[in-house]
Structure 1
Amino acid sequence: MVRLEHANLVVTDIEPTLSFLKTAFPHWRVRGSGKGDWSGKPRTWLHFGDDEFYIALSDNGEGAPRDLKGHRPGLAHLAFEVSNLDALKARMAAAGHEITNPGNPTEHRRNVYYIDGNTIEFEFVEYLSDDPAEKNRYD
């Protein structure tokens, strides 16, 4: 078995990303948190998720985030499959989060992108088919 267990994001301020994720995933919770030191710098960290997957956040980031329209190496976005894209979009709109890219819907997929308060881009995708040949079409 292989599966992604968590993603670890370094930010300058945990709260904007945590608030964003709480809106996107209201069933997730803070699994644990604490304070510590990373490479000689103090940090606060937390794990936000469910029993199977989580996002780790640390607040000891320095410098400007990667320009999402540029070509520098680094994280472009994290993508999550959701079962109801319309419900997610309604929650995000109610919390003041605006769609930054309407995605590229096909007959078997719908998706949208948002950027949180730490300039991290998130994609949300809803598949309209269970058939891998339809879900994973690239034409």
Structure 2
Amino acid sequence: MYLEHVNLVVSDVEEMLAFYKAAFPHWAIRSEGEGEWYGKPRRWLHFGDTKYYIAISDNGVGENRNLEGHQTGLAHFAYVTDNIDTIIVRLQNAGYQIAKPGADNPFRRNVYFIDPAGFEIEFVQYLSDIPTERNNDL
């Protein structure tokens, strides 16, 4: 079993695509369309590769949760990479800044960015294949 996708409701699909295209230049729009969600029209698309993707729908209302607060909701989601420096450079070159540096840990490197809809995204590069090292809290 594995996580195939997350579904994000946003106010601007194009802004989201710009961020995720910078992070994942090898991904593409897999499918897209228009529909209705509980009486409200929406545009939707699936952006990813042949195995994983992000579902993005527009017509979202309001602000995302305060990431510094304690409200119920999504804290962040993470992507594993083999080269975190490349991700950082691509996102910074596209105009996105690091929101939080990751913890100083000998077994992993990580960094957090905030996407245009206000979701916190972690990128992590593991430096060990041993689960107890990868997941420690040093």
The aligned residue for residue 96 of structure 2 is: 97
Q: How many Å apart are 1:138 and its aligned residue?
A: 2.5
Name the residue aligned to 1:135: 134
Q: Please, which runs of 5 or more residues in structure 1 have no aligned partner? A: none
Structure 2 equivalent of residue 122 of structure 1: 121
RMSD: 0.9
Number of positions where the alignment pairs a residue of Structure 1 with one of Structure 2: 138
Aligned to 1:51: 50
Give distance in 1, aligned partners of 2:133 and 2:37: 44
**How far off is 1:129 after superposition?**
1.0
CA distance in 2, matches of 1:136, 1:117: 29
Moved runs in structure 1, 4+ residues, more than 2 A? none
Deviations 1:25-49 (A, max 9, x none): 1111100000010000000000001
Q: Deviations over 1:19-76 (max 9, x none)?
A: 1111111111100000010000000000001111110000021112111111111111
Q: Following TM superposition, by how much is the alpha carbon of 1:117 offset from its aligned partner in structure 2, in angstroms? A: 1.3
The whole-number CA distance in structure 2 between the counterparts of 1:32 and 1:111 is 30
What is the letter of the counterpart of residue 131 of structure 1?
A: I
Corresponding position of 2:35 = 36
Query: In structure 2, what residue type is equivalent to 1:87?
Result: T
Gaps of 5+ in 2: none
Code of the aligned partner of 2:28: R
What's the secondary structure of 2:3's corresponding residue? coil
Provide the TM-score with structure 1 as the length reference: 0.96
CA distance in 2, matches of 1:19, 1:105: 29
User: Secondary structure in 2 aligned to 1:19?
Assistant: helix
